[in-house]
Chains A and B, each alone.
Chain A
Amino acid sequence: QVELVQSGAEVKKPGASVKVSCKASGYTFTDYYMHWVRQAPGQGLEWMGWIHPSSGATNYAQMFQARVTMTRDTSTNTVYMEVNSLRSDDTAVFYCARQYFGSWYFDYWGQGSLVTVSS
């Protein structure tokens, strides 16, 4: 069965970086884009960007472009999302979600990773 398993909760200080992982199983890793979505406490969902697992190509939402990097490791079927220069308003749950090429929706999501930024 399809599973996207994300890394655990993190607490970081302002200015630090965090790298969240999303390990995929149960399907052909390179057949699906992987997206990342941010959800601040009590707030809605924000699309951050995607990575093409086969080529490594990325596309970021403008508001995240300067501080976010998405990478992948095809040997372990894992994608990573790193946020630099963390601020307190980056405190959020980050989700990975997959999209089949040529479809226009996310069908499976990871369980979410809480990142808390606090001094």
Chain B
Amino acid sequence: EIVMTQSPATLSVSPGERATLSCRASQSVTTNLAWYQQKPGQAPRLLIYGASTRATGIPARFSGSGSGTEFTLTINSLQSEDFAVYYCLHCNTWPPWTFGQGTRVEIK
């Protein structure tokens, strides 16, 4: 099973600043990596798929990069609505599909 490790667990950022979130896979997942945002009481929302493609309707301040085992989600100029928990997801032909443990982005 591929293990996804996110860091940091919590990120304190001031509005308007940049947030950089990391996700590491225990073995290569090529670019089969997605990022999700989850707010309290809500279902996760797809942000990025294929490691770097923004989902429909996602603002350009969200960007994803990486391949193989190292991935980054960058949120430029954080807005108030961006404070949430972010998860990476590895998905591939052969299950299991695995989530990272999440990074909480909080207001500094």
Interface residues of B in 18-48 (CB under 8 A from A): 32, 34, 36, 38, 43-46
Interface residue count for A (Cβ, 8 Å)? 23
Verify if A53 is at the interface (C-beta below 8 Å from B). no
> In the complex, are the beta carbons of A47 and B43 less than 8 A apart?
no
Verify if A9 is at the interface (C-beta below 8 Å from B). no
A106 to B37, CA, bound (A): 12
A47 to B98, CA, bound (A): 6
CB of B93 to closest CB in A, whole Å: 8
> In the complex, are the beta carbons of B55 and A49 less than 8 A apart?
no
Among B34, B87, B95, B98, point to the contact of A49 (Cβ < 8 A). Answer: B95
> In the complex, are the beta carbons of A111 and B43 less than 8 A apart?
yes
Interface residues of B in 84-102 (CB under 8 A from A): 87, 89, 91-92, 95-102
Known: A50-B95, A59-B95, A62-B96. A103 touches B49 (CB 8 A): yes
Give 14 new A-B contacts, CB below 8 A, not counting A105-B46, A109-B44, A111-B43: A45-B36, A45-B44, A45-B102, A47-B95, A47-B98, A62-B96, A103-B49, A104-B32, A105-B49, A105-B89, A107-B49, A109-B43, A110-B43, A112-B43
Verify if B15 is at the interface (C-beta below 8 Å from A). no
CB of A6 to closest CB in B, whole Å: 9
CB of B46 to closest CB in A, whole Å: 5
Chain A 24-51 against B: per-residue CB contact (8 Å), 1 yes, 0 no? 0000000000010100000011110110
> In the complex, are the beta carbons of A104 and B50 less than 8 A apart?
yes
The residues of B that contact A49 with a CB separation of less than 8 Å are 95
